[in-house]
Amino acid sequence: MTDDIIAIDGPAGSGKSTVASALADRLGWNVLDTGAMYRAVTSEALFLGIDPDDADAVARVAHDADIRTRPRVSINGRDVHDEIRTDVVNVAVSVVAANPAVRAAMVQRQRAVAAEEPGGLVVEGRDITTVVFPRARVKIYLTASPYERARRRGDEGHESVARRDHADSSRETSPLRQADDAVALDTTGLSVDQVVEEIVRCLENTTSN
């Protein structure tokens, strides 16, 4: 199914979710927000009173959970679409996402979603081009200036964005990095439509080659 996947990676505030959604709409494809999956696991662990630092307990939550990302994010039948963007989840999600067992469970689920997808799929996250779908048809790495990324993440601010950057790039399992063959797009000063057009051109180039 990798012929029908556009994989988008990038740091917090680079525009991944917004661009992925707009791109999927443009192409008539579905979209998978993998970050929402990690946030859902974090939300559920906190809901159950589990310390995010309790790696084994959080891993069990990830392994056993029923996670849905469309049309709204839910876990085990509980709607957490709004809850996953709260401050408490923002702080704890980096710990959960760095858990190797959690990442293994999520990667397995993400690949299963793609295998069952009847059409094309736009997947966004922080290890999609390097780990989850390294053979995706199109691989994009979005970035933006630190100021712009912090502005977009106004609910978190500069310190939170910097903390996520450090946690995502320094974790031992699946750290955030640009794949060697990914197309890098700096979204600073660009509209969503402009970024989408750039990615569509990349897709068209793979079709014509």
Distance CA 104, CA 74 (A): 20
Give me 28's structure tokens: 């008539």
SS3 9: strand
pLDDT tens for residues 82-127? 999 998 998 899 999 999 999 999 999 999 999 998 889 999 999 9
User: What would the pLDDT profile of 177-209 be if each residue is shown by its tens digit?
Assistant: 999 999 999 999 999 999 999 999 999 988 765
- CB 78: neighbour CB atoms within 10 A? 13
Q: Name the CATH topology of 2-208.
A: Rossmann fold (3.40.50)
pTM over 0.85: yes
Strands, sheet with 78-79, edge to edge from the N-terminal-most edge strand: 67-68, 74-75, 78-79
In eight-state DSSP terms, residue 113 is H
User: Burial letters for 119-133: b for 16+ Cβ neighbours within 10 Å, e otherwise?
Assistant: ebbbbbbbbbbbbbb
User: Cβ of 185: how many Cβ atoms within 10 Å?
Assistant: 22
- Distance CA(133)–CA(138), nearest Å, equals 10
Q: Would you say 27 and 33 are in contact if contact means Cβ atoms under 8 Å apart? A: no
Tokens for 196? 């989408």
